[in-house]
Structures are given as C-alpha cells and as structure tokens.
Structure 1
C-alpha cells in the first residue's frame, strides 16, 4: 500500500479539489484508491453508505475513486455551531459539543481512532491520498495536532505541499513554511506544487527552481486554473464570500446566506440551468425581488432564525409570499418556515422555543437523535435521489400535503394550503433534471441542464486529465511508494 498526503500553505489553496482530481487520475490508471482526511471542519456534510456523516469533500473524493463514501474517510468532523463551539462527529456519529479551548486540549486523544480508520482504509487500497486541513505553518496549533504533521508523522506518510499562486506571495508562502517548520516536520515534505496558475506556466519556471533551491523539495508541477472545479460541490463557506456575476437566466432564485448556513450545495443543480440565475444574498443586503426563494439548511437553526430576523429577511420572505411567489425550505430552512421551533434539550444552546416564519402549518421539536440516511422517491410526479441529515421531528396539518413520497412509502415534507410554500428534509432534492423541470415549469421555464451527479463525474474526469498533463504523477507515485 502506498500513501501520500497533500498539505497546504494555507486554507482554500485547493487541496480538496486536487485530492479529488488525483483520486480520479490514479483510479483511471487502474489503482484502487481511497481518500482520507483525518480532521475536517465543515457544515456541508454527506451521508455515508455505512450510516454516518463525513465532510462533503471526502464524499466527492470517494466518487472520484468510484467507491461509496465511508465514515473512515473522515473520522473526525467538526461542525461549527457558533464562533467558539462545534459539534464533534467521530466516525460518522455525534459525540457531543466542544468549545474551542477544550478541543485543542483533547484532540490528541482522538489520534488512535484516526489511525485505526486510516489503517482500515489502507487494507483495501493500493493508494491512499490524504488531505490535510488548514496549514502546517500554523505552528501555534502544532501541539496535539492530528490534521497535518501530527498525523503524517504518526502514520509515516510523505507530504506534498501545495501553494496558491492566485492569492500572491506563493514563493514566500512555500519557502516560509519550510523556514518555520520543526526540522522533523519539514523532513516529511518530499515535494511541492503550485496551484491556480493563470497564463503561461513557463513564466514561473524560475520561481519553481527558486523554491526548490531554498527548500530541497522536488518541484512536481504547476496546475493551471481548474475551470471545472466550480462544478464540484463545495464544503467551505468561504466560496459564499466571493461575488458571482449575475447570469441572464429568466428565472431569478435567491437564497439568503445565514450565519450557520449548511449544505448550500443543494443550490448547485440550479446553477446548471441556463434559464436560472441563482443569487446568494449576503448579510447586509435585502432579498431582491425574485421569482423563487430557497432557504438552505443550517447547523444552528434557532440561531439562524434569529439571524434571519435581524437582517430583516423575514419581512422580505413574507412579502414574496404575499406576491404569490413560491418558497422552498430545505432541512433547517424547512424548520424555519413552520409556526414554532423548539429545542427542549438545549442541543443548540440554552433550551428555548421560538416562533417560526409561520408560512407552513407545522412545528418542529429538536431531538437528540440525528437522522442519517440516503433516500430516493418521487415528488410532484418526478423522481429524486438524496439524503437526510438532521435533528428534529416536524409535524402539523401541512404534513397531510407532503412534499414527496419516499421509496418505502413514507411521506416526506410539507406543503402549504395555497401550494406556494414547500418544506423538505431531502438534501440533493434538485439534483435530477426531471425534478428541476417540475419546479421550473411552475415558473414558466424549461429545464435543460444535466443530471447533477453526471456533471460532477464529467468535471472530475476533466480535472484528472488536466492533472495528468500538468503534474509529474509518476514522481508522486514513487514518493508514495517509497515511504520512509
């Protein structure tokens, strides 16, 4: 078994996309490949075939390997609930809520379980591609680390360091990382690559040599800007902070960015439709006059409901409804649309009960058991495939008009008496073009975009082909095989 770990000079340098592309590239070479991320922090999660949840990026990487996702691919997942608290998910199951200080003190105790998950994956693979988190240059976090060099040294996995030239200062970030690392940590790094290059890579040849000379690391290539990466699901909310040019789509869709928004990739399938213009509305801006409002999921639904009201978005949403225009709430967004939302166990903070938006005649009570399952079924006469990942039970008269029916016969979701407001717990509801066609038909448009999963597969193939052309994959494989 061979293994290789990609770490970055900082967050958002493209590690997740590169690992996904390399997974597909090496799988295309006939290798049995598995992705692994010791520790992840994200509110965009996916349900695994073995009944747990992992970071969205690792699910995409599993798809790149052409295997079902497993909880062992991301044994430690932190899901932020507030600025200083996160839910701890260990091997796919919730293990409690941690404050930041307590996490830093206790994370090293999770290393044996992380290593066991890595060992289990290793037994079934020719190659394990490991993704770090953040950067090893954060030496203030080195003690007890399980995400970067702490894992690499414990598992004896060689490291490649990724630098992002698009943000500037890539020579300084790579050479500077070498300079501040503990010598034993720096010795784990066998090579480097530069990501997100725009223009002629030959212009940076001298830069690559300068980095190699100052670090002793092997230069393994320059990756040009991966245009296909925008078609992969994102798990990092940083993408929501970037302005996106408005399209010419006739159907205007708005989704407010709440403080703890989760699984916002549910909107990605709509972006495949030429007839649709998806607008992610940041804090400080009103929800514009649009044709359709979609409320995404939330990691802290009660807090996000407070946030939504603080932004005045509740007024915008109700005005949208009075104009006779449709609203879809997904997971936490579904819960917010009801009359009341209660947290008697204090799962999201002090126990309390708050009024919802009152657009669906249902009430939600948060419970201690998280629903985690892959689902399929039919909604509005069209098929869907997706997954459920939520706390809470939702009941009320509008449940008599379900959003859809699952394959096992159970009803799912709720619809208002006027038919304008729909709530559903199904993430991925809009992934299939047949399902999108029904929604867009209500708005006077036609669906012509591809199946979302098929588009992701095509994007992975495009990225893999580009990495084959631009990186020295043979050298990377030799590094992975000649482990220390």
Structure 2
C-alpha cells in the first residue's frame, strides 16, 4: 500500500511553507509514522548534497532531518539555481542538465513532469506519509498551463492541498480570498483548508478574520500559527530571508560577509550567527566592508559575475586594506576561486568564455570545468589537526603554489577514496581558501576558528538545531489542528 500525501501550498513565496513542512514532519514522526518531505520544483542557490550523491534544496534537507530519514535526490527532483536575472541552472533528480532562460523554462517544464511524478512515486513506495511543499503561489495563473510546482502537480498526483497565508506581511485576508477568486474551480476544489501563519499579538483579535476567510472561500480554518521564535535558529533557504539579515549578535569578534548578487549556500554562516561571542555582519552593496577580525567570501552560483560585482562595490579595495591591517580572510568555494590570481571559463559554463583576474590574495589559478563535484567529506584541517565535516558542491579546479599548503586533508564519507588535499593557505597563513561548505557547522572546527580570533565557542550547533525543530513542532501542535491535517492526506 502506498503512502498517503498532503501538500502545503502558499499564497506567495516566503510565507513559511518550508518551516511548516519541517514541523509537520517532526510531528508525524512523533505519531509513529514514516514520513518523507517532497518538493516538486524549487528555486534556490542554497543546496545540500544528498546521501545518494546529488543535490536538492536546503529546505528539503532540513525537512528530511526533521523526518529522521536520509536525504535523496527524489525529495526535490527539479531544482533551479539562478545564475542571472533571467537564467538559471537546471538540476533534475540531483544532476545538472543545463542552463535555461526563464521564458525557455516554461516550455521545458512540460518534459520534467515525468521525472517529478517518478520521484514522488519512489518516495510513496517507502513511506506512510509524504508531505509535499509547493513553490511560489497557485494564484500565478499565467504559469498554470505548464505548472509542476503547485496545482499542476496536485491534480496530476491527486494530492489534497492546504493553503498558507502570511499575516506578518499584511493583506492575508485578500491573499487567501483572492487565491480562491482567481484559480480554476477544479484547482480550488483540491484545497481542503487554510492556515494563517506568523501571527503576532492576541489571536482573539483575528477570530472574525478567520471566520470571514472561511465564509468567503468555503475552506475550513486549520489554525492560526503565531510567530515562532525558534525558526530563527534554523537554516533559511530563500534569498528573501537573507534580505532581512543584517548584523547578528553583539559579540566581541566581528565576522563580515560581503553579500554578492548570486551568493549561494549562505547557511554556511548559521552557526556563526548563533555564537554568543560573534557579531556577524552581512555587508550590502553600497556599504564598505567594516573593520573585522575575519572577512569571509561566500560561495557563488556565478563566480565571475559576482567577482565583477565585488569590484564594482569597491570591496576589493576594502579587502586589501583589511589584509594590510593584519586581518584574516576565508574564501569558501566561489569565494576561494575569487581569492586567486585568475579564473578561466574556457567552455562558457557561467557565461561568455574567457579569463578574468582574481583578487590576487592567494597564489592559485582556477579553471571552471563542466564536471561538478558533489561529495560529502570528512577530514581534518592540517595546521592544527582539528576534525571537520562538510560537503563539496562546485565546478572548477584550483592549482598553484599556495595550494601546496592545503587547508585540509579530506576523504569522501560515502566510500573509501583515500585522503586528498583541499584548499590553499597564503605564506603568512592569513588568507585561506577551501571548497568545503558546512565548515562552521562542526563544533570542533568552529571553535578552532574562533580560538584563532581570540574568543571561545559557546554553542553546540547540532543540538541547537534539533531543539529548534522540536520547538517549532511544539508550536504547531499547540496552534494547528494537526490530526485533522493528517486525516486530510489521501
């Protein structure tokens, strides 16, 4: 017997769907169910390497953690990773299949429905319950004909829908009632109820609002969820969330992260954001890199374009001054590539073929290649022998004299491939580059970095994430009709 399924859709992006699915996954586990998350189509440059060696959206990895199951590429069969304002890399069942412009993708989507339904069937075959997350909004009727993310999937797979609105952004009554007004009646018939999310204040003040939505839509109210503070301790997926981040914490040590247009995997900094001794600053275009103890150049989905944006912001000058003052620099993945002497893209992977000069803080050169490294690794940093874990997710090979002083010795955790070097370190040790994402999530490695900056760690990160998932689940248990929600699944 295949699993039952339930789909959480939203009236728009960033209404809290991902977090609700994660919390519901944990609540299903508490009820003794084998539950798996699923998102047919995602758009995000925050991705995770799966246990079966592909990549999916970071939110689905968090949801799998909440469900207590290994990640698989089938949890997010279509992942779009934006590389420009109008184009994105297309990942299908964990592997890159090409790059497409937004207009062309609307044609391509029709051919991807089979992969989406195949992945969904695979998950259903080994679960009691599949909780599906939509993308964007079903009210985007201009995209409905080729939709695979919302009602197009729900109707093809016969999955009932619960619609979520975000009261914190305002207009929640109009967004829920308006969705009913504009979507096809057959799509509206798939919706079995609604949730209002992120309420602040006395919930009794919105009783009349809930009744109005019920009367106007014919959908039953399934809960009014308050703003859950524990959500701040969980990885954010959307760049929309990054826009809300500025300076986090008030610790004595300052870590600055310049935010480039195509920043990727910015969850690399979640553990630092939670450290009591750290003040984490996300630097926006138009602002200088502040005086800091450590400047981290993050990953990028379009390294050459982001390097140009870095220079246009004047951050290359700021970074050079930081190094002259004796400050430390860490480049992660694309940020590591930027720190070298040059980046070559002979095959036009990111854009027109060519070579551009790097920032010249590491004596290495990078050549972008079509083969993408997608690997979970473990190992140790060589300067101090401290253990580390992380993952590689990059195109390109980086070589040069400073790579002769590698940052770490690593090995794939999925098989016995033997130890190999990673990264590069400048002659004076002040500038470090690595291809490893997730470095700061490990308590030992994070403590070692903070120790070099003159402070101590006060955080057990993995325990904090587990506690936050449980706290979110507790909040949903208290404010949602959870058993009724699970009963809707079919």
1:460-483: CA deviations, max 9, x gaps?
111111111110011111110xx3
CA distance in 2, matches of 1:273, 1:241: 20
Which of the numbers 440, 448, 460 marks the counterpart of 2:458?
Answer: 448
**Which residue of the partner structure matches residue 239 of structure 2?**
237
- Determine if contact 1:431/1:453 at 8 Å carries over to the other structure: yes
- Determine if contact 2:249/2:275 at 8 Å carries over to the other structure: no
Residue 371 of structure 2 aligns to a residue whose secondary structure is strand
- Determine if contact 2:246/2:283 at 8 Å carries over to the other structure: no
- TM-score, reference length from structure 1: 0.98
- Determine if contact 2:363/2:400 at 8 Å carries over to the other structure: yes
CA distance in 1, matches of 2:249, 2:234: 19
1:284-342: CA deviations, max 9, x gaps?
11111111100100000000000100100011111101111100000000000011110
1:423-445: CA deviations, max 9, x gaps?
01111111112111111111111
CA distance in 1, matches of 2:375, 2:10: 33
**Which residue of the partner structure matches residue 164 of structure 1?**
166
Structure 1 segment 279-294 matched on structure 2, within 5 A: 279-294=281-296
**Which residue of the partner structure matches residue 466 of structure 1?**
475
**Which residue of the partner structure matches residue 417 of structure 1?**
427
Residue 376 of structure 2 aligns to a residue whose secondary structure is strand
Q: Structure 1 residue 241: deviation in Å? A: 1.4
- Determine if contact 1:433/1:448 at 8 Å carries over to the other structure: no
1:403 aligned onto 2:407: yes
Structure 1 segment 356-395 matched on structure 2, within 5 A: 356-379=358-381, 380-395=384-399
Q: Say what the alpha-carbon RMSD is for the aligned residues.
A: 0.9
Q: Structure 1 residue 247: deviation in Å? A: 2.9
CA distance in 2, matches of 1:432, 1:109: 40
1:374-431: CA deviations, max 9, x gaps?
0011113211111100000011111111111114321111100010000011111111
CA distance in 1, matches of 2:259, 2:357: 20
**Which residue of the partner structure matches residue 430 of structure 1?**
440
Residue 194 of structure 1 aligns to a residue whose secondary structure is strand
**Which residue of the partner structure matches residue 103 of structure 1?**
105
**Which residue of the partner structure matches residue 414 of structure 2?**
none
**Which residue of the partner structure matches residue 127 of structure 1?**
129
Residue 201 of structure 2 aligns to a residue whose secondary structure is coil
CA distance in 2, matches of 1:403, 1:290: 22
**Which residue of the partner structure matches residue 26 of structure 2?**
24
- TM-score, reference length from structure 2: 0.97
Q: Structure 1 residue 244: deviation in Å? A: 3.5
1:214-256: CA deviations, max 9, x gaps?
1111110111101111111111111221254553210011000
Which of the numbers 458, 473, 485 marks the counterpart of 1:476?
Answer: 485
- Determine if contact 2:37/2:131 at 8 Å carries over to the other structure: yes
- Determine if contact 2:91/2:97 at 8 Å carries over to the other structure: yes
What 5-or-longer segments of structure 1 have no aligned partner?
Answer: none
Q: How many positions carry a matched residue from both structures? A: 480
Residue 124 of structure 1 aligns to a residue whose secondary structure is coil
**Which residue of the partner structure matches residue 146 of structure 1?**
148
- Determine if contact 2:245/2:282 at 8 Å carries over to the other structure: no
- Determine if contact 2:366/2:396 at 8 Å carries over to the other structure: yes
Structure 1 segment 107-118 matched on structure 2, within 5 A: 107-118=109-120
Which of the numbers 224, 227, 231 marks the counterpart of 2:226?
Answer: 224
CA distance in 1, matches of 2:265, 2:138: 27
CA distance in 2, matches of 1:11, 1:374: 30
Q: Structure 1 residue 202: deviation in Å? A: 2.1
Residue 439 of structure 2 aligns to a residue whose secondary structure is coil
- Determine if contact 1:3/1:128 at 8 Å carries over to the other structure: yes
**Which residue of the partner structure matches residue 204 of structure 1?**
206
Residue 134 of structure 1 aligns to a residue whose secondary structure is coil
Residue 444 of structure 2 aligns to a residue whose secondary structure is helix
Q: Which contiguous aligned blocks of 4+ residues in structure 1 show a shift greater than 6 angstroms?
A: none
- Determine if contact 1:384/1:431 at 8 Å carries over to the other structure: no
- Determine if contact 1:292/1:327 at 8 Å carries over to the other structure: yes
